Amino acid sequence: MTAATPETRVRFPGVRAPKPLLSQQSERELSARQLELLDELEEQLIRTGLADLTMAEIAARVGCSLRTLYGIAPSKDELLLTVVDRRLHRIGRAAVEVLDPGDTPMDSLRSYLRAAHEAVQPEAVTLSSDLASVAGASRLIDSHASYLTAVAQSLLDLAVARGQIAAVDTAAVAHVLGNLGLEFARPEFAEITQASPKETADQVADLILEGLMSRGRSHGDT
C-alpha cells in the first residue's frame, strides 16, 4: 500500500489531535544529540523504565550531561512525559497515514485500530507500570485515548451514514474501542491474557467490528 500524502490523507472533520508537549519549533531547536537522546530515552523507558531514577542517573545511563537533558525539559517528569507524548504522536500519525481513502469506513476503522495498537506492544506493560508515579502521565495518555476514540466515532458515524452498519450509539462503541489498548496494557491483564496487549486489543476490536457489520447485514435483510 502506498503511504498517504498530505493531499490524499483521510480527514476527520472536527477531530483534533492533542497538542504536542514538544512543539515543532522547539524540536527543531534541539541539537542532533538531543534528538538522538529522545529516541534512546524512549527505548530505555519501554524496556526497563526510568521513573525511579533521578535526572543525574538518567543522564549517566544514556551518557550525556545534565545540562543536555535540561535543555530538552525542565524536570524529570516533564522529560518522561515528552518522550511518551512524542512516541504516541508518532504512532498516531502513522495510524492515520496507513488509511486508504478508497476503503470503506469499517475497513478504515479496522486498519486504524490495528496501527494505533502499536502503542501497546508487550513493552507497554513496563511503560504503564513505570508511568504510574509520574505526575500528569494519566492525563496525557487519556488525551491520546480521547483522540483515538474521536477518530473511531467519526468512522462509525460515516459507516452508519453509508449504511455499512445499522444505527448504533457510536459514542459508546467508540469509547470501548478507543480504550481497548489501555485496558489490555494494564499489568494485571498481562498476567491473565494469553496474547500480547496489542494482539488481544486487535482480537477484541475485530470481534466488535464483525458484530457491528453482522448486525448491519441482518438489519438490511429485514
Q: Given its phi and psi angles, is residue 191 left (phi above 0), alpha (psi -120 to 50 degrees) or beta?
A: alpha
What letter would DSSP give residue 168? -
Residue 38 main-chain phi, psi, to 5 deg: -60, -40
Give the pLDDT confidence of 123-137 residue by residue, as tens digits. Answer: 666 677 778 788 898
For 107-141, letters b (16+ CB in 10 Å) and e give: bbbbbbbbbbbbbbbebbbbbbebbeebeebeebb
Mind listing the pLDDT tens digit of every residue in the chain (222 residues)? 445 555 556 889 889 999 999 999 999 999 999 999 999 999 988 888 888 999 999 999 999 999 999 999 999 999 999 999 999 999 999 999 999 999 999 999 999 999 999 888 766 666 777 787 888 988 998 999 999 999 999 999 999 999 999 999 999 999 999 999 888 887 777 677 778 888 999 999 999 999 999 875 655 554
Give dist(CA 136, CA 142) in Å, integer: 10
Other beta carbons within 10 angstroms of residue 200's beta carbon come to 21
pLDDT score, position 222: 47
pLDDT tens per residue across span 7-37: 556 889 889 999 999 999 999 999 999 999 9
Cα(118)–Cα(160) distance, integer angstroms: 27
What pLDDT score does 6 carry?
53
Which pLDDT value is given to residue 157?
96
Give the residue among 93, 125, 139 at the shortest CA–CA distance from 112.
Answer: 93
Looking at residue 133, what is its pLDDT? 82
Rounded to the nearest 5°, which phi and psi values hold at 103?
-75, 160
Cβ atoms of residues 115 and 91 within 8 Å: yes
The domain defined by 77-221 folds into Tetracycline Repressor; domain 2 (1.10.357)
Count of C-beta atoms within a 10 Å radius of residue 160: 17
pTM of the entire predicted model: 0.87
